[in-house]
Chains A and B, each alone.
Chain A
Amino acid sequence: MAALIADRARSYLLPVLVLVATWVIIASTTDTFRGEASVFSVLEGFPLLGLVALGLAITIIAGELDLSVGSMAALAGVVAVKTSSVGLVGALVIATAMGAAIGALQGGIIARLGINSLVLTVGTLILLRGVTYLASDNRPSQLTDFTVSDPLLERYGIFSASSITALVVFGVLGLFLAYTRYGREIYAIGGARDEARAAGVPRLRPMVVTFALSGACAALAGGLASLKGGSAAPQNYADLLLAGAAAALLGGISLYGGRGTVLNVALGVAVLSAVSAGLAARGSDASVTQLVTGALLISVVAIEFTATRLGRRAKLRREAAEREALPPPVPT
């Protein structure tokens, strides 16, 4: 049992170390990134980056990739701002439900046709962006009543209302993924699709759930961020795919599917938002953040790749040794 716990802990070890190191470096070089303020600014990364990374991570766990998350967030932002007259919660619910519905449809098409999710989501990436422009009439939509979003700006110590919302979603989805049949089926199709199918996991359901969750997360993220900012521009959030994927993979979600938990995503998001908070505090450009994000992304993928290769080679060697140990055949 102890070995099993150690096994689990190991998957968090590297991201935790990276987080601590990043934190120490940034805190020691940036005056404003200290104490409560630093925790607050990192947590503020969760509503937008965090939720998108979470949705994306679920698709990666399922062995797929949803490229449309940025467009979905932008569309949801416009929808949330446009429907803000029904109240804050209502607008968020409408936007999220829309995201879930579109995502479920995507998942259904992918499962039914048996196509690669990249192919379809490249299409919806464009389509949803276009719909966003149409919905917003090609210009940024403004909140008519700015008081609607005031609760989101409320700050409670290191938390804000929006970061609390995001963390609650992390918690709920964490439990869903870990302890329900529907959640575990996502891991099953990502870990070994043919085996899962042979075991009786249905073709359609896990894929629909996966993309519905990814759509809903991206939509909630876009809704929260746009309402908080008071406006939604149709060209928003195009860079979220990069940042979201980087956060998920940095936290230890495996690109090969079937591995990683919500805690992994949270760690990755914390690292990435610490980095961008630190860079922003030093007055760096958004483009520098992109550069750093890109570099982090490629290194973490390369590290995982190398580790997998080495692991596989070690396994081959072990198997060869086992074969050597076989008794020689009895002479006939």
Chain B
Amino acid sequence: MTEVPATPAAPSAGGARAPAGRSEWLPTALVFAVLVAGVVVAVAVTPNFLTVDNIRAILRNASIVGIVAVAMTPITLSGNFISLGTQQSAMAGCVVFVALVGSGWAPVFAIAVVLAALIAVGVAQGVVVAAGLNPVITTLAAGAIIFGVVADATNGGIVRVGAHPVSWGNSTIAGVPLEVLIFALFTVAVGLFMTRSVAGRRMTLAGSNKETAEVSGISFRAVTVGAFVIFSIGLAIAGVLTGAGFGQATIQSLGTLTIDALAAILVGGTAIVGGYGSPWRSAGGAVLIAVIANVMVLNDFSTGGRLAVQGAVVVVVVILLEILRRRGEVR
């Protein structure tokens, strides 16, 4: 498979030793092949799968997780592993948004407060991580602190919008639910940012090789803080959309978000060690996981079955991708 083509090209001018950029596109192709295969199997075994309502439900389920997965991808790409405090931050955003709206604030201002607060928390974590502290431990601890603070503030109870429901909470535009639309827009925005903007390109470079990035004048601190800012924006969007949709929030809101987002990123083929992957793939991963979940619900699988399959898919994809990458690499 990794046969070296016997190119008679001048050794110093070309030196082609592997198909161009294969290690780049192969993982993406694999994920989308799995996605397509998943849809085909799902359609084959599930009579109610291909209905407008069901597709809408899938995308809706994928949206919140997808937004967060897409937002976390820059952290992963920039070589800062993952955040284990995801659910807590998004939940805090959700609770704050609902509480503010419930006490009569205009949603716009509530959104601004949530955004500012989460970005502040994100920047703080980014600075700590950029200084060299382990990102997994840092975000785990930060999540626990946020959770404790919110639980204390709400006394563990339910916060409601009450008399001030958010009018656009469950709205659709041209038949497309709001969160689906925002998921799509956000993915495009982050995707373009990562490939087209100077800041985004630098994030990927820093994740690919921190030392080379530093020699190239790229500040690891700026890159890390920037990635955490994008992440915080995604968390704020997820929190606000959830709060607006349900009209209420507790500390248990978005309970499986951390795991789901990580699963989406991993299934999307973004390597946690940095430098490989893209927001598009994470979005694809989120949709794939939503499709699997949907098919299993329609076929009467339990929560456990869904989690088990989700976990199994993650483990298998991680191992497969690692083997493929190894093969694609030419030394």
Contacts and interface: CB of A to CB of B under 8 A. Distances in A.
B304 to A, nearest CB: 2
B63 to A, nearest CB: 20
A287 B151 contact: yes
- Contact-residue bracket for chain B: 35 or more
B139 to A, nearest CB: 10
A245 B137 contact: yes
A82 to B, nearest CB: 14
A204 interface: no
Contact of A297 (B141, B156, B305, B319): B141
B263 interface: yes
Contacts of A122: 82, 262-263, 266, 272, 314
Contact of A291 (B152, B308, B326): B152
B132 interface: yes
Contact of B308 (A134, A137, A288, A290): A134
Nearest to A131: B308
Nearest to A65: B136
Contacts of A27: none
B222 to A, nearest CB: 20
Contacts of B273: 115-116, 119
Interface string A131-142: 111111110000
Contact of B148 (A125, A291, A305): A291
Contacts of A127: 307-308, 310-312, 314-315
Contacts of A305: 131-133
Contacts of B314: 122-123, 126-127
B81 interface: yes
Interface string B142-185: 11110111011000100000000000000000000000000000
A242 B311 contact: no
B318 to A, nearest CB: 5
A113 B152 contact: no
Contacts of B152: 285, 287-288, 291
Contacts of B307: 126-127, 129-130, 133
A301 interface: yes
Interface string B258-289: 01001100100001110000000000000000
Given A113-B323, A119-B273, A297 B137 contact: yes
B133 A285 contact: no
Given A138-B303, A301-B138, A118 B151 contact: no
A120 B81 CA distance: 13
A293 interface: yes
A281 interface: no
B46 interface: no
Interface string B77-102: 00001101000000000000000000
A91 interface: no
B214 interface: no
B305 to A, nearest CB: 6
Given A127-B315, A130-B311, A287-B156, A136 B304 contact: yes
B256 to A, nearest CB: 9
Nearest to B274: A116
B148 A287 contact: yes
Nearest to A68: B311
B306 A294 contact: no
A287 to B, nearest CB: 3
B186 to A, nearest CB: 23
B293 to A, nearest CB: 11
B309 interface: yes
Given A291-B152, A295-B145, A305-B131, A245 B302 contact: no
Contacts of B306: 130
Contacts of A246: 141
A316 interface: no
A310 interface: no
Nearest to B259: A126
A192 interface: no
A234 B304 contact: yes
Nearest to B151: A287
A302 B132 CA distance: 10
B134 interface: yes
A292 interface: yes
Given A118-B272, A126-B314, A288 B259 contact: no
A288 B148 contact: yes
Nearest to A135: B304
B311 A302 contact: no
Nearest to A288: B148
Contacts of A133: 302-305, 307-308
A143 interface: no
Given A133-B304, A249-B137, A128 B144 contact: no
A255 interface: yes
Contacts of A291: 144-145, 147-149, 151-152
Given A134-B302, A249-B137, A293 B144 contact: yes
Contacts of B136: 65, 67, 118
A124 interface: yes
B24 interface: no
A140 to B, nearest CB: 13
B71 interface: no
B211 interface: no
A64 to B, nearest CB: 11
19 contacts: A67-B136, A113-B323, A116-B273, A118-B81, A120-B315, A122-B82, A126-B259, A129-B307, A131-B304, A133-B305, A133-B308, A249-B137, A288-B151, A288-B152, A295-B141, A295-B145, A301-B141, A305-B131, A305-B132
Which 8 pairs, one residue from A and one from B, show the smallest C-beta to C-beta distance? A291-B148, A133-B304, A127-B311, A294-B144, A130-B308, A130-B307, A287-B151, A126-B311
Interface of B: 81-82, 84, 128, 131-134, 136-138, 140-145, 147-149, 151-152, 156, 251, 259, 262-263, 266, 271-273, 302-312, 314-315, 318-319, 322-323, 326
